[in-house]
Amino acid sequence: MDIKELVAVAERALEGTDMFVVECKITPDNTIDLTIDSDTSVSIDACAMLNRAISDAFNRDEEDYSLTVASAGIGEPLVSLRQYRKLEGSTVEVLLGNGTKILATLDEVSDEGVTLSYDEAVAVEGKKRKQMQRTTKSYSFAEIKWTKEYLDYK
Protein backbone atom coordinates (compact mmCIF):
# COMPACT_ATOMS: atom_id res chain seq x y z
CA MET A 1 0.00 0.00 0.00
CA ASP A 2 1.34 3.42 -0.94
CA ILE A 3 1.45 5.86 1.99
CA LYS A 4 1.23 8.94 -0.27
CA GLU A 5 -1.91 7.62 -1.93
CA LEU A 6 -3.43 6.79 1.46
CA VAL A 7 -2.72 10.29 2.83
CA ALA A 8 -4.15 11.85 -0.35
CA VAL A 9 -7.40 9.88 0.11
CA ALA A 10 -7.56 10.98 3.76
CA GLU A 11 -6.92 14.63 2.89
CA ARG A 12 -9.63 14.57 0.21
CA ALA A 13 -12.08 13.10 2.74
CA LEU A 14 -11.21 15.86 5.22
CA GLU A 15 -11.62 18.72 2.72
CA GLY A 16 -14.14 21.31 3.90
CA THR A 17 -13.50 20.50 7.56
CA ASP A 18 -11.01 21.93 10.03
CA MET A 19 -9.40 18.49 10.40
CA PHE A 20 -6.02 17.50 9.00
CA VAL A 21 -3.68 14.51 8.80
CA VAL A 22 -0.94 14.61 11.43
CA GLU A 23 0.81 11.33 10.80
CA CYS A 24 0.44 8.08 8.89
CA LYS A 25 2.42 4.92 9.57
CA ILE A 26 2.25 1.63 7.70
CA THR A 27 4.04 -1.42 9.10
CA PRO A 28 5.40 -4.29 6.97
CA ASP A 29 2.33 -6.40 7.88
CA ASN A 30 0.05 -3.63 6.47
CA THR A 31 -1.12 -2.24 9.80
CA ILE A 32 -2.07 1.38 9.12
CA ASP A 33 -2.14 3.94 11.93
CA LEU A 34 -3.56 7.27 10.77
CA THR A 35 -3.56 10.18 13.21
CA ILE A 36 -5.68 13.27 12.58
CA ASP A 37 -6.18 16.53 14.44
CA SER A 38 -8.45 19.52 14.18
CA ASP A 39 -8.41 23.23 14.86
CA THR A 40 -11.31 22.55 17.27
CA SER A 41 -11.90 18.90 18.18
CA VAL A 42 -12.03 15.44 16.60
CA SER A 43 -15.10 13.31 17.26
CA ILE A 44 -15.34 9.54 17.10
CA ASP A 45 -17.82 10.02 14.24
CA ALA A 46 -15.16 11.90 12.27
CA CYS A 47 -12.68 9.05 12.80
CA ALA A 48 -15.32 6.52 11.67
CA MET A 49 -16.15 8.63 8.57
CA LEU A 50 -12.50 8.76 7.60
CA ASN A 51 -12.08 5.03 8.22
CA ARG A 52 -15.01 4.35 5.85
CA ALA A 53 -13.63 6.71 3.19
CA ILE A 54 -10.27 4.94 3.21
CA SER A 55 -11.88 1.48 3.26
CA ASP A 56 -14.02 2.47 0.25
CA ALA A 57 -10.94 3.67 -1.67
CA PHE A 58 -8.81 0.55 -1.13
CA ASN A 59 -9.94 -2.97 -2.02
CA ARG A 60 -9.21 -5.41 0.82
CA ASP A 61 -9.50 -8.32 -1.63
CA GLU A 62 -6.46 -7.00 -3.50
CA GLU A 63 -4.42 -6.09 -0.44
CA ASP A 64 -5.37 -6.95 3.13
CA TYR A 65 -4.72 -4.33 5.80
CA SER A 66 -5.67 -3.28 9.30
CA LEU A 67 -6.68 0.37 9.68
CA THR A 68 -6.82 2.51 12.81
CA VAL A 69 -7.88 6.16 12.62
CA ALA A 70 -7.35 8.14 15.82
CA SER A 71 -7.13 11.72 16.99
CA ALA A 72 -3.83 13.17 18.17
CA GLY A 73 -3.55 12.48 21.88
CA ILE A 74 -3.30 15.11 24.56
CA GLY A 75 0.21 15.13 25.91
CA GLU A 76 1.67 13.76 22.69
CA PRO A 77 4.48 15.69 20.99
CA LEU A 78 3.42 18.09 18.23
CA VAL A 79 4.50 16.91 14.79
CA SER A 80 3.04 19.42 12.34
CA LEU A 81 3.27 23.16 11.86
CA ARG A 82 -0.52 23.37 11.95
CA GLN A 83 -0.55 21.81 15.44
CA TYR A 84 1.92 24.45 16.61
CA ARG A 85 -0.19 27.24 15.10
CA LYS A 86 -3.30 25.83 16.79
CA LEU A 87 -1.58 26.29 20.17
CA GLU A 88 -0.38 29.88 19.69
CA GLY A 89 -1.07 31.75 22.93
CA SER A 90 -1.25 28.51 24.94
CA THR A 91 1.10 27.10 27.54
CA VAL A 92 3.44 24.42 26.20
CA GLU A 93 6.20 22.23 27.56
CA VAL A 94 9.31 22.24 25.39
CA LEU A 95 12.33 19.95 25.56
CA LEU A 96 15.34 21.45 23.82
CA GLY A 97 18.01 19.36 22.15
CA ASN A 98 20.45 20.25 24.95
CA GLY A 99 18.14 18.66 27.55
CA THR A 100 16.65 21.89 28.92
CA LYS A 101 12.92 21.72 29.67
CA ILE A 102 10.90 24.94 29.43
CA LEU A 103 7.32 25.65 30.47
CA ALA A 104 6.35 28.63 28.32
CA THR A 105 3.70 30.53 26.43
CA LEU A 106 3.85 29.83 22.71
CA ASP A 107 3.83 33.42 21.45
CA GLU A 108 4.52 32.99 17.75
CA VAL A 109 5.03 30.24 15.18
CA SER A 110 6.86 30.58 11.87
CA ASP A 111 8.02 28.10 9.25
CA GLU A 112 11.47 28.12 10.90
CA GLY A 113 10.59 27.91 14.60
CA VAL A 114 8.78 29.39 17.58
CA THR A 115 8.95 32.33 19.97
CA LEU A 116 8.41 31.44 23.63
CA SER A 117 7.87 33.54 26.77
CA TYR A 118 8.78 32.04 30.12
CA ASP A 119 9.94 32.92 33.63
CA GLU A 120 13.66 32.49 34.17
CA ALA A 121 15.79 32.90 37.30
CA VAL A 122 18.51 35.47 36.55
CA ALA A 123 21.25 36.99 38.67
CA VAL A 124 20.54 40.62 39.53
CA GLU A 125 23.35 42.88 40.69
CA GLY A 126 23.01 43.75 44.36
CA LYS A 127 20.72 40.80 45.13
CA LYS A 128 21.83 37.63 46.89
CA ARG A 129 19.27 35.38 45.24
CA LYS A 130 18.34 35.08 41.60
CA GLN A 131 15.18 36.93 40.61
CA MET A 132 12.45 35.64 38.32
CA GLN A 133 12.29 37.58 35.08
CA ARG A 134 10.04 37.11 32.04
CA THR A 135 12.16 36.09 29.04
CA THR A 136 11.10 35.97 25.39
CA LYS A 137 13.29 33.92 23.09
CA SER A 138 13.04 32.38 19.62
CA TYR A 139 14.05 28.79 18.92
CA SER A 140 14.41 27.04 15.58
CA PHE A 141 12.67 23.70 15.15
CA ALA A 142 16.15 22.15 14.87
CA GLU A 143 16.83 23.21 18.50
CA ILE A 144 13.62 21.59 19.78
CA LYS A 145 13.45 17.88 20.59
CA TRP A 146 9.70 17.99 21.30
CA THR A 147 6.84 20.30 22.22
CA LYS A 148 3.70 19.22 24.07
CA GLU A 149 0.54 21.04 25.05
CA TYR A 150 0.67 21.72 28.80
CA LEU A 151 -2.41 20.92 30.83
CA ASP A 152 -2.65 22.47 34.29
CA TYR A 153 -4.77 20.25 36.52
CA LYS A 154 -5.10 22.81 39.32
Residue 126 burial (CB count, 10 A) = 4
Segment 50-109, tens digit of pLDDT: 999 999 998 888 888 999 999 998 789 999 999 999 999 999 999 999 999 999 999 999
- Low-confidence winner among 103-107, 115-119, 127-131 (lowest mean pLDDT): 127-131
If asked whether residues 25 and 45 sit together in one domain, one would say yes
Residue 43 contacts by C-beta under 8 Å, 6 or more apart in sequence? none
Domain boundary among 26, 46, 71: 71
Query: Are both 85 and 139 inside the same structural domain?
Result: yes
- Clarify whether residues 7 and 67 are in a common domain: yes
